[in-house]
Amino acid sequence: MPVNMIMERFEESPLFTKLLKDIQNGNVDAFAKIIEEYKKLVAHIVFRMVTNPADREDLGQDIFIKIYQKLSTFRGESKFSTWISRIAYNTCLNHLNKKSTEMSKSYVSINRDWDISLSNDLTPLSNLERSELKCRLNQEILNLPVKYRMVITMFHLQDLSYQEISEIMDTPEGTVKSYLHRARQYLKEILEKEFQQQAV
Partner 1 sequence: MIKHITSSDIQRFLDGDTTTMESADMKSHLNICQQCWQEYESFTMIYEALKQEPVSNFSSQFTHQVLTRIKSSPQPARYQRSPDILMAITGVVISILVSLYFIGLHTISNSISIINGNLMKILANQPVFPDGLPSQTINPYLLTGVIILMIIILLERLVFKRKGLIYSL
Question: How many degrees, rounded to 5, is the angle at CA 81 between CA 100 and CA 76?
Answer: 115
Which of 15, 18, 52, 72 binds partner 1 (CB under 8 A)? It is 72
Which of 46, 88, 146, 165 binds partner 1 (CB under 8 A)? It is 46
Specify the residue, 117 or 126, whose C-beta has the smaller distance to partner 1.
126
Which of 7, 19, 128, 168 binds partner 1 (CB under 8 A)? It is 128
Alpha carbon separation from 125 to 60, 176, 192 (Å, rounded)? 35, 25, 6
25 belongs to the binding site for partner 1 (CB under 8 A): yes
Which of 8, 16, 35, 103 binds partner 1 (CB under 8 A)? It is 35
Q: What is the 3-state secondary structure (H, E, C) of the chain?
A: CCHHHHHHHHHHCHHHHHHHHHHHCCCHHHHHHHHHHHHHHHHHHHHHHCCCHHHHHHHHHHHHHHHHHHHHHCCCCCCHHHHHHHHHHHHHHHHHHHCHHHHHHHHHHHHHHHCCCCCCCCCCHHHCCHHHHHHHHHHHHCCCCHHHHHHHHHHHHCCCCHHHHHHHHCCCHHHHHHHHHHHHHHHHHHHHHHHHHHHC
- The stretch near partner 1 (CB under 8 A) out of 83-91, 92-100, 109-117, 178-186 is 178-186
Which of 93, 103, 110, 125 binds partner 1 (CB under 8 A)? It is 125
Specify the residue, 96 or 187, whose C-beta has the smaller distance to partner 1.
187
Which of 4, 64, 143, 144 binds partner 1 (CB under 8 A)? It is 64
- Under a CB-based contact definition with an 8 Å cutoff, are residues 8 and 59 in contact? no
Residues 131 to 160 in contact with partner 1, rule: CB under 8 A: 133-134, 137-138, 141, 152, 156-157
Residues near partner 1 (CB under 8 A) are: 23-26, 28-29, 31-32, 35-36, 39-40, 43-44, 46-48, 56-57, 60-61, 64-65, 68-77, 124-126, 128, 130, 133-134, 137-138, 141, 152, 156-157, 177, 180-181, 184-185, 187-188, 191-192
